Amino acid sequence: MTLLTKKIVPNLECQPERVIQFGEGNFMRAFVDWQLQQMNQQGLFNGSSVVVQPIEQGLKDLLDAQDDLYTVALQGLQNGEVIDSVEIMTSVSRVINPYTQWQAYKELASQDDLEIIVSNTTEAGIAYHKEDSLAAMPPKSFPAKLTVLLHERYKLGKKGFIIIPCELIDRNGDKLKEIVLQYATDWALGHDFVTWLETQNTFCCSLVDRIVPGFPRDTAQDFYDKLGYEDKVLVTAEPFMVWVIEGPQTIMTAFPLQKAGLNVIVTEDMTPYRERKVHLLNGPHTAMSILARLAGLDTVEAVMKDLDFRKYVDGLFTDELIPMIDLPISELVVFAEQVKERFLNPFANHQLSAIALNTVSKFVARLLPVFNQYVDTKNALPKHMTAALAALILSYRGDKIVPQDDENIIATFNKAWEDPETVVVTILGNVDLWGQDLTAISDLVAQVKKDIALLETAGARVLIKKC
Ligand SMILES: NC(=O)C1=CN([C@@H]2O[C@H](COP(=O)(O)OP(=O)(O)OC[C@H]3O[C@@H](n4cnc5c(N)ncnc54)[C@H](O)[C@@H]3O)[C@@H](O)[C@H]2O)C=CC1
Ligand SMILES: O=P(O)(O)OC[C@H]1O[C@](O)(CO)[C@@H](O)[C@@H]1O
């Protein structure tokens, strides 16, 4: 079968390079480059991205063999409709491997059309390596490579960039800027360079949300048969997306994502949006994964299609999560409905066991802040979250399902379960697990004991029906 190349795309228009993108992975290609494509199609941007492969091994060769073309398959539900679409992306101009093309990389500094820098180098990428130097070709870390590029740009007396990292770490833009400034100090790049960095560049924090399963290993041949060509870097993604960017509204002039109708929010403070995502998407994931596994269910979709569990999920959203988040209720209701639709994605096959990895820390980050808020404002226990907490303690006994977590956490639960009479008090009172003494919450110990007893005698389905 023919490989996807320019020959397959007639009248391919080359757009000027306007974006430097660190990271050629699945997420960036189905998120940022897909958005460039949407803007280009509407004649709003007329720009392409030059992609920098951040580590020595990567997809450059595969992409180059396809003239940097690839397909994005969007699969899922949107506004009640099944979306199963494919589109060839023409928004990547070329891929630079700085390990073999260091000079070409540095020359990007001289291109005036380049205005925007984006990145996703995984959670490990925004890191400081003390050994990195200005003379290295290239330095190891992504922030060090970026510092070299910015310094070249400064030396040419040109304007700076809008820099929007997409890594899934809190306050990614601040962290990236902090490390770049650290290199500027380490490498003695001078006060004027630091002033240029501060005044001519806009580092934005951003929060991305789109589930991108990536290359469809099991069904690739079906895709090729349907497409009529082979695409070794085809990427599947859900139709839903949100990009929350913390920065000045003016960035939308250079980067008209919103004008193209994309779900992009530019705000002065992204905290509520981060909370919205963590508590309304990842929170229900965690609560349902704990309880539904005890009832023998295995995927998010199965939970959402089960009438009893669906009621539980709806109640969790409506009674306990939405009222505790500091954003307009109408906005939260819309977001919650979108999340439920995403949970029902028939293409996703999202395993509860995958979500359940490291459940204790996930419970702390995703549910406990809302749990505390509920107790403080309502002076009562949130029943749905309390049931999930009880199920967590029971599952970590290890006889019904095998918990996967840090070995110290597993050991803590094993030890506590040696005495079933005291296990609830021991676990809830363990500040190392929760960051607080949960036995101090009025009635919690008694309720969790009752819930565990019901889980043991009647099962998870009966417990959630009581919520
Ligand atoms: N796939 C998804 O559904 C979503 C993924 N994310 C996040 O995006 C990140 C990337 O995900 P994918 O694109 O799916 O993975 P991927 O494996 O396709 O791409 C990883 C990218 O990160 C780069 N990279 C890896 N380690 C690095 C390091 N130490 N320093 C610099 N660069 C490094 C690689 O060169 C590659 O460009 C992940 O951290 C993930 O948490 C965020 C939202 C959704
Ligand atoms: O299964 P979890 O850990 O709740 O995460 C669900 C998904 O949400 C996302 O944050 C969506 O953007 C992805 O990173 C992740 O795949």
Report ipTM for this prediction.
0.96
The closest residue, in CA terms, to atom 42 on ligand 1 is: 168
d(CA 386, CA 392): 10
Which of 24, 120, 140, 207 for mutating ligand 1's site (highest number of atoms within 8 Å of CB)? 120
Q: How far is CA 258 from CA 154, 165, 275, in A?
A: 30, 18, 22
Q: Return the closest-CA partner of residue 164 out of 336, 305, 28, 307.
A: 28
Query: What is the atom index within ligand 1 of the atom nearest the CA of 211?
Result: 3
- Collapsing DSSP states into helix, strand and coil, what is residue 214? strand
Domain check: are 244 and 352 in the same one?
no
Query: What is the atom index within ligand 2 of the atom nearest the CA of 286?
Result: 4
The closest residue, in CA terms, to atom 6 on ligand 2 is: 282
Range of the domain at 389: 272-466
Domain check: are 244 and 314 in the same one?
no
Domain check: are 282 and 245 in the same one?
no
Residue 230 pairs with which residues in a beta bridge? 3
Domain check: are 282 and 255 in the same one?
no
Report the pocket of ligand 1 as residue ranges, CB < 6 Å: 23-27, 53-55, 58, 120-125, 142, 168, 208, 210-212, 214
Ranges in the chain, pLDDT < 70: none
The closest residue, in CA terms, to atom 44 on ligand 1 is: 211
The closest residue, in CA terms, to atom 7 on ligand 2 is: 211
The closest residue, in CA terms, to atom 38 on ligand 1 is: 122
Crossing angle of the two packed helices 142-155 and 172-186, in degrees rounded to 10: 70
d(CA 373, CA 443): 16
Domain check: are 330 and 450 in the same one?
yes
Q: Return the closest-CA partner of residue 362 out of 282, 444, 426.
A: 282
Domain count, the chain: 2
Is 169 a member of any domain? Answer: yes
Domain check: are 245 and 308 in the same one?
no
Which of 21, 118, 122, 179 for mutating ligand 1's site (highest number of atoms within 8 Å of CB)? 122
Domain check: are 348 and 434 in the same one?
yes
pLDDT tens digits along 370-399: 999 999 999 999 999 999 999 999 999 999
Q: Last residue of a domain, which of 249, 268, 287? A: 268
How many whole angstroms from 120 Cα to the centroid of ligand 1?
A: 6
Q: Return the closest-CA partner of residue 22 out of 132, 165, 158, 162.
A: 165
Q: Last residue of a domain, which of 214, 248, 268? A: 268
Beta carbon of 111 within 6 Å of any ligand 2 atom:
no
Is 314 a member of any domain? Answer: yes
Is 306 a member of any domain? Answer: yes
Residues 452/464, Cβ–Cβ less than 8 Å: no
Is 303 a member of any domain? Answer: yes
| Triad 16, 22, 25: Cα angle to 5° | 105
Is 329 a member of any domain? Answer: yes
Strand ranges, E, within 218-285: 235-237, 242-246, 264-267
Using the CB atoms, write b or e for 304-314: b if 16+ within 10 Å: bebeebbebbe
CA 442 to chain centre: 35
Domain check: are 201 and 296 in the same one?
no
Is 394 a member of any domain? Answer: yes
CATH label of the domain that carries residue 249: 3.40.50.720
Q: What's the confidence (pLDDT) of residue 304?
A: 98
Q: Return the closest-CA partner of residue 400 out of 423, 383, 417, 379.
A: 417
Domain check: are 247 and 143 in the same one?
yes
Q: What's the confidence (pLDDT) of residue 14?
A: 87
d(CA 237, CA 370): 29
How many whole angstroms from 166 Cα to the centroid of ligand 2?
A: 14
User: What does the block give as tokens for 84?
Assistant: 């199963």
The closest residue, in CA terms, to atom 20 on ligand 1 is: 25
Residues 90/69, Cβ–Cβ less than 8 Å: yes
Q: What's the confidence (pLDDT) of residue 41?
A: 96
- Collapsing DSSP states into helix, strand and coil, what is residue 203? strand
Domain check: are 180 and 306 in the same one?
no
Residues 95/21, Cβ–Cβ less than 8 Å: no
The closest residue, in CA terms, to atom 15 on ligand 2 is: 211
Question: What distance separates the 2 farthest-apart alpha carbons in the chain?
Answer: 74
Which of 27, 63, 92 for mutating ligand 1's site (highest number of atoms within 8 Å of CB)? 27
Domain check: are 255 and 287 in the same one?
no
Q: What's the confidence (pLDDT) of residue 298?
A: 94
Helices (H), 246-367: 251-254, 271-277, 283-294, 300-305, 307-315, 329-343, 352-355, 359-362
Model pTM score: 0.89
Domain check: are 291 and 312 in the same one?
yes
Q: What's the confidence (pLDDT) of residue 407?
A: 93
Is 383 a member of any domain? Answer: yes
Q: What is the sign of the dihedral through the CA atoms of 419, 420, 422 and 425?
A: positive
Q: Last residue of a domain, which of 268, 291, 317? A: 268
CATH label of the domain that carries residue 412: 1.10.1040.10
Query: What is the atom index within ligand 1 of the atom nearest the CA of 29?
Result: 13
Q: What is the dihedral of CA 338, 340, 343, 345, to 10 degrees?
A: -60
Q: What is the DSSP letter of 143?
A: H
Is 1 a member of any domain? Answer: no
Query: What is the atom index within ligand 1 of the atom nearest the CA of 53?
Result: 35
Helices (H), 379-443: 383-395, 407-416, 423-428, 431-434
Beta carbon of 285 within 6 Å of any ligand 2 atom:
yes
Amino acid at 40: N
Which of 281, 351, 358, 362 for mutating ligand 2's site (highest number of atoms within 8 Å of CB)? 281
Long-range contacts: 382-386, Cβ < 8 Å, 24+? 382/319, 382/320, 383/319, 383/320, 383/466, 383/467, 384/287, 384/312, 384/315, 384/316, 384/319, 384/320, 384/464, 384/467, 385/287, 385/316, 385/320, 386/444, 386/447, 386/448, 386/451
